Amino acid sequence: MNSLPKNTIYWIYSAAVVCAVTVHQPKAAAATLSNGWNYAIDSFNDGVTGPQIGGGEFEFYGIAVKETSDTAFIAINSNLSLAGYGDTAAQRGNINYGDLFFNFSGQNFNTANANGSLFAVRFAEGNDSSVATTGVYSNVTAKNVTQTNSGFLNLAQYNAIVASQGGTPSTGDLAANDPYFEQTGKWTVLNSIATGTKVGEINSLTPATLSALGLNFAQFNARGSQTIGFSFDKSAMPSGSYIANLFAECANDAIAIKSSFEKSSAEPVPEPSTWLGTLAGFSILGIGAAKRKMKSQIS
């Protein structure tokens, strides 16, 4: 523990009330479809709240995604309120949610970040995001805010502390030590938007609206005190597979989901020239069958 930075020691051993809570592990961490929602269930005992590991103010339980032809719906189940956790030592006076990042590139987070190819949603108005308002952003770069929110130096440190106190760290659909995220180094958890271009608004969804949309975290025993939801126009993001992830501003818990968006109905239909280009591509690759099939479709 001597290797921990001073502010981490301060955070871990000060303030929080220790509660005796019995925590049951989720059965599976794999993404699961139910009622049109794709769920990623996190460890129920990897939230760090002062000396308490599991079940405290920072415990994340799950995240779920649903889509229609033109709208994406996101729901988060956790113990952290949208107002954040009051802490006078933290930037803006509270430790809040970081931003929700979407990576369609197939690259790891840092590579996508370096290429400016990340998308992100700022949904917590009181967090430390560098963009002015809530909404959907493209061409995003990410920054670290654990340093200014009494947080962890890196993920390896977080994982070690959770495990040392009997918790089981996970990151939703990813293992806690998945190389998708940088694990070591100094202040390497990139959990907040540094720069981005606003491409859409978000609409808040109440728990009642989410229930009416078929959301049911309780079926996975995910019973955090807060269920936060919002929607946005899918045309603000690409279609295809992505990894989306969310950290607390202190990295006291984190969750990621692997999912995909179907093409938005608002996306333009490809021009004929695009189809001809595709045909030329197939021809060069010698995929005769595909070529003949597509020719017959357009003739």
Q: How far is the CB of 155 from Ca ion (least distance, A)?
A: 10
Is residue 41 classed exposed, middle or buried when 0-12, 13-18 and 19+ CB atoms within 10 A define those classes? Answer: buried
Extract the tokens encoding 7: 């502010």
128 forms part of the interface with Ca ion (CB under 5 A): yes
Site stretch for Ca ion (CB under 5 A), options 22-30, 136-144, 226-234, 244-252: 244-252
In DSSP terms, 86 is beta-bridged to 94
Extract the tokens encoding 284: 């060069």
Which residues ranging from 131 to 150 are in contact with Ca ion (CB under 5 A)? 149
Residue among 149 and 227 whose Cβ is closer to Ca ion: 149
Which residues ranging from 40 to 99 are in contact with Ca ion (CB under 5 A)? 42-43, 46-47, 60, 90-92
Residue among 46 and 67 whose Cβ is closer to Ca ion: 46
- Determine phi and psi for 260, rounding to 5 degrees: -155, 155
Binding residue for Ca ion (CB under 5 A) from 57, 99, 173, 253?
Answer: 253
Q: How far is the CB of 250 from Ca ion (least distance, A)?
A: 8
Q: How far is the CB of 263 from Ca ion (least distance, A)?
A: 31
165 forms part of the interface with Ca ion (CB under 5 A): no
> CA 141 from chain center: how many Å?
15
Residue among 140 and 250 whose Cβ is closer to Ca ion: 250
Site string for Ca ion, 8-47 (x = CB under 5 A): ----------------------------------xx--xx
How many helices and strands in the chain, by DSSP H and E?
6, 18
Q: Which residues contact residue 288 at a Cβ distance below 8 angstroms, ignoring those fewer than 6 apart? A: none
DSSP H helical segments within the chain, as ranges? 6-13, 109-114, 155-164, 207-212, 272-285, 288-298
Quote the CA–CA distance of 157 and 166 in Å, as a whole number.
15
Residue among 128 and 173 whose Cβ is closer to Ca ion: 128
Q: Which residues contact residue 212 at a Cβ distance below 8 angstroms, ignoring those fewer than 6 apart? A: none
The vertex-227 CA angle with 65 and 44, nearest 5°, equals 85
Residue among 127 and 231 whose Cβ is closer to Ca ion: 127
Q: How far is the CB of 296 from Ca ion (least distance, A)?
A: 51
Tell me the three-class secondary structure of 111-164, residue by residue. HHHHCCCEEEEECCCCCCCCCCCCEEEEEEEEECCCCCCCCCCCHHHHHHHHHH
Residue among 138 and 245 whose Cβ is closer to Ca ion: 245
Q: How far is the CB of 252 from Ca ion (least distance, A)?
A: 9
Q: How far is the CB of 112 from Ca ion (least distance, A)?
A: 20
Site string for Ca ion, 178-207 (x = CB under 5 A): ------------------------------
How many chain residues touch Ca ion (CB under 5 A)?
A: 13
Residues that bind Ca ion (CB under 5 A): 42-43, 46-47, 60, 90-92, 128, 149, 249, 253-254
